[in-house]
Amino acid sequence: MSEQKRTVAIHVPVLARVEGEGALDLRIDDGAITELRLRIFEPPRYFEKFLEGRHYTEIPDMVARICGICPVAYQVTAAQALEQLFGVELDPWARAMRRVFYCGEWIQSHSLHIHLLAAPDFFGCNSAIELAKIAPDEVRRGLRIQALGNELMDLFGARSVHPVGVRIGGFHGAPPLARIREIREKLRAAVPEAEALIRWAAGIPMPQDDQAFFSVAVRHPSDYAIETGDIATSDGLLIGADAFDGHFAERHEPHSTALFSHYRGHAYLVGPLARLNLNHDRLPERVKTLLNETGLVLPSRNLFHSLVARAVEILLALHEALRLRIGSPLGDDQAGWLTVDALQAAGLGDVVIEKLDRPGANLIPLLEGTPGVILVDAMQSGGQPGWVRRFDREDWPRYSSGLSSHGFGVLDALTLAQSLGSLPPRLDLYGIEIGSANPGDEVAAVIALAAQQLARRIARELGRDAAN
């Protein structure tokens, strides 16, 4: 009998190293697949029914129980749905820290998937234990990255498994400053490890398996979509979440307890590779550069590239957590942050915008090797709240006690950088006079207005510089 005329039946009763419980049935007749069923047989847990009749404050903690690996996705989604129903608007700090919280889950979950679930198969190993025998350094690196993600989730969730820190309107509390400082250093140290992970993942021999499928993911107008955005598809659809039912259909199948979802009558891809296919133009420049070095062409229709996509999103999550600067909300002391938020909304092209929280001496490396820097900070010099002052270098000593409301402030860092010869050729320093800097206080309207006005002023100056 020729290869094309025989029948092959494969039954895998238990799929190992997957997130859930399932089996696979496959039948091939005369070289064509005639039966293919992915059977999800884990018992349904009826979370939708459990939530009926519950008080809204219980929902975030309950939905976190859906998955021990990715609880943040369910918590944030549920919280955002309730906030939309109630008309609740998150303040800038809570919105940014929700994204950082989600980054922790990506770091943890992606690293677990790469090293414990997927990579062993690529190397012909039965488990991560076997993989550790031939790639011990890579497995150790993966476990370190995974642990860092867990730590970031614990920072905001009070624990990393089924966290309990999220509430409607933000979080139950802000993380302590000592832990913030500690985890920032770990995030910085993890960046080169994540870069090495991308190179390693991209270097693993993979089947060349081009398939036709739709990619579906969330897309944000300016950022790489993580926790917010509209629904986008690879054939050009862009809709709000409330229009989902008009374009996607979900149904039950007899062989599975999981729902099957279709777009235009076809199954579709979600997850890291789908997100990367639709959002790679939103990656930070440093991540784009490294991705280009791997030779991976996007959009990709090779499902095996999802391993590389996960590694890329780990590096992205580290960059996002560092860019958003984990911190605590301190009343009017958010003046600099509000200015940065307004500048980000203005869209300034190639201008790199950083939001820093009490950077101290850590500001100095950011000053080195750049032609120009604009710094905005809150100050308490006894002036009228909302007053904006631009400082020349010769003015610094006269305002040494007032330019920053922090212990080792911006001025101290600049003075040290000057002694080290690390100041950029151009340095514009602005201070916004503030009143209260107490945790939890609302930002005064005059401070918010001053930040908006200063952002417009800076944007105009940058526009003139670009024109010249």
pLDDT score for 403: 44
Q: Report yes or no on whether pTM surpasses 0.85.
A: no
- Ranking 100-109, 156-165, 294-303, 456-465 by mean pLDDT, the lowest is 456-465
Per-residue pLDDT reduced to its tens digit, 194-241 = 999 999 999 999 999 999 999 999 999 999 999 999 999 999 999 999
- Per CATH, 58-327 and 331-467 having the same topology is answered no
Q: What is the band of 422 on the pLDDT scale with cuts at 50, 70, 90?
A: confident
Domains in the chain: boundaries: 3-40, 58-327, 331-467
Q: Which CATH architecture has domain 331-467?
A: 3-Layer(aba) Sandwich (3.40)
Per-residue pLDDT reduced to its tens digit, 116-139 = 999 999 999 988 999 999 999 999
List the end-to-end C-alpha distance of the chain, in Å, as a whole number: 77
CA atoms of 189 and 191, how far apart (whole Å): 6
pLDDT score for 360: 67
Q: Which tokens sit at 364?
A: 């100095």
Residue 374: pLDDT over 50: yes
CATH code reported for the domain at 58-327: 1.10.645.10
